[in-house]
Chain A
Amino acid sequence: MRIRVSPADAVIGLLVALLAFALVVQVKSNAGDTQLANARQDDLVRILSDLNAREQRLRDEIATLQATLSQLGEGAAGREAALAEARRRADELGILAGTLAARGEGLVIRLIPGPEPLAASTVLEAVEELRGAGAEAAQIAGLGGHPVRIVASTYFADGSGGGLVVGGTAMGGPYTLTVIGPAATMRTALTIPGGVSDAVARDGGTVIVDEPGEVTVDAIHVPTDLRHARPVN
């Protein structure tokens, strides 16, 4: 069997083949490409300007968020610094007021009474000398009583039987003063002629100044509620 192909049939076949070819090519290019490749110029311009506006908006948003971030960072740093400062002051005041145990360079002074008991005024004089020499925290311990932190309101009185009453606690000799402060200055202050050492020696007692490097003052003063004084705003 033989198919006769006329010229007209050949042309028609060519055209139809061309159509099918173009159809497939177009479908494939549409499927493979993104929409942008087939978009018209004015559409592309509109899309581009949309994208530019969007980019601008996002940039503005980034700038705003970064400003907020840096503000928050500064705020946090400021609060941290204030907190650290407040902690430092609280520690300092706690040591001065005797509500915190303290540790540092200092002296351990033993006051050993002779035949005569030590007078409260002599011990007080020793404490005053140490304060004058820069003592920052001090406690006193004796026989028959727990160690007492020496603060601004601590009093020294002569007790019955030759002992001392320090801040309400009775104790007997020998006494141990533990003082935090400049060791060399305080040692000099105790041994000046006519000073504490001489006064104790006059009564027949002995002063032994020990310098162990770091000392610990761990007696705590329980603060009393103030009844009269109020802070001035």
Chain B
Amino acid sequence: MIAVLALVAGVVAGILIEPTVPVALQPYLPIAVVAALDAVFGGVRAKLDGVFDDKQFVISFVSNVLVAAFIVFLGDQLGVGGQLSTGVVVVLGVRIFGNVAAIRRRLFRA
């Protein structure tokens, strides 16, 4: 309940404030967003499975974002930033698909 309210509040804030992304953050923000989405879907799945843990969710969220950003940063330094970003997005996308599939099975028994 609180999470849904927070989601709506964040969207509204993003629309109203209209901030510009700082140049230093531009390569990392998209990847960080995808990583955070992965953590959120993982959390929803755990909630439905009845094994949701506050601490675990917070840590996984933060570490996902940081690791994703770090991998992109490392890729940029090595000169393979584009390819590595693609790789991270693919891995996270696969995980998101897996989590969504589990949620679907739990909700619709299908």
Contact = CB atoms under 8 A, between A and B. Distances in A.
Given A12-B57, A17-B9, A24 B2 contact: no
Interface of A: 3, 5-6, 8-26, 28-30, 37-38, 40, 42-43
A16 B32 contact: no
Given A12-B2, A22-B32, 12 more contacts: A3-B2, A10-B2, A12-B43, A12-B57, A14-B6, A15-B61, A15-B62, A21-B14, A25-B21, A29-B26, A40-B81, A43-B82
B10 A17 contact: yes
A25 B3 contact: no
A25 B19 contact: yes
B79 A8 contact: no
Contacts of B26: 29, 37-38
A20 B3 contact: no
Interface string B23-36: 00011011011001
Nearest to A39: B82
Contacts of A3: 1-2
A28 B1 contact: no
Interface residues of B, number: 37
A225 B81 CA distance: 92
A13 B3 CA distance: 5
A25 B22 CA distance: 11
Contacts of B91: none
Contacts of B81: 40
B15 interface: yes
A14 B56 CA distance: 15
Contacts of B61: 15
B74 to A, nearest CB: 14
A24 to B, nearest CB: 3
Interface class of chain A by DSSP: helix
Give the residue among B6, B29, B54, B57 with the most A Cβ atoms within 10 A. Answer: B6
Given A3-B1, A28-B18, A11 B58 contact: yes
Contacts of A16: 3, 6-7, 10, 40
Nearest to A19: B36
A26 B58 CA distance: 22
Nearest to A20: B10
B81 to A, nearest CB: 6
B110 interface: no
B29 A13 contact: no
Nearest to A24: B14
Given A25-B21, A42-B79, A19 B37 contact: yes
Contacts of A30: 30
B105 interface: no
